[in-house]
């Protein structure tokens, strides 16, 4: 394998029908998903609707349901299922000998225009 891939984790580190978040130096996390057939997909960890964390959604088939408003996002393309519209950025994935790799160029450049989601302090009106 070429050295142009970044090792993320082993396939066994992600539960079947689950996800793992990959932190980046800049921009939102990347969600790496494992389907029931052991196919692996990676999307920006932001729903195109309201920015919900896709890594916390329910994985079924080759789709994930956003935990905020149940939008269905195709894992292969990042595209929202009709009638919803929008797309989560997709990352190339390489699986070799049970190890998951992502493209370092994409990790450094894709989806940086979004700030990472952060919880803020609660404020009360006086």
Q: How many domains does the chain have?
A: 1
- pLDDT band for 25, please (50, 70, 90 cuts): confident
Question: For the whole model, what pTM was predicted?
Answer: 0.87
Say if CB 65 and CB 41 are below 8 A apart: no
**Does residue 51 fall inside a structural domain?**
yes
Q: Is 81 contained in some domain?
A: yes
CB atoms within 10 A of CB 68: 15
What is the average pLDDT value for the chain, to the nearest integer? 91
> Which pLDDT band holds residue 16 (cuts at 50, 70, 90)?
very high
Query: Residue 1 — very low, low, confident or very high, per pLDDT cuts 50/70/90?
Result: very low
pLDDT for residue 2 is more than 80: no
Q: What is the pLDDT of residue 118?
A: 62
Whole-number pLDDT of residue 63: 98
Does 120 reside within a domain?
A: no
pLDDT tens by residue, 38-81:
999 999 999 999 889 999 999 999 999 999 999 999 999 999 99
Q: How far apart are CA 48 and CA 2, in angstroms?
A: 32
* SS3 category, 48: coil
Query: Range of 82's domain?
Result: 6-109
Give a yes or no: residue 124 inside a domain: no
Look at residue 70 and tell me if it is in a domain: yes
The answer to whether residue 101 is domain-embedded is yes
For the domain that residue 21 is a member of, what is the CATH number?
Answer: 2.102.10.10
């Amino acid at each position: 394998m070429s050295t142009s891939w970044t090792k993320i984790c082993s396939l066994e580190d992600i539960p079947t029908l689950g996800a793992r978040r990959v932190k980046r130096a800049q921009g939102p996390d990347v969600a790496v998903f494992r389907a029931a057939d052991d196919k692996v997909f990676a999307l920006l960890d932001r729903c195109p609707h309201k920015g919900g964390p896709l890594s916390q959604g329910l994985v079924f088939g080759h789709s994930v349901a956003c935990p905020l408003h149940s939008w269905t996002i195709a894992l292969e393309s990042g595209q929202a299922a009709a009638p919803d519209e929008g797309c989560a950025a997709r990352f190339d994935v390489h699986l070799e000998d049970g190890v998951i790799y992502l493209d370092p160029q994409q990790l450094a450049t894709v989806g940086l225009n979004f700030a990472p989601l952060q919880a803020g302090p609660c404020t009360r009106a006086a």
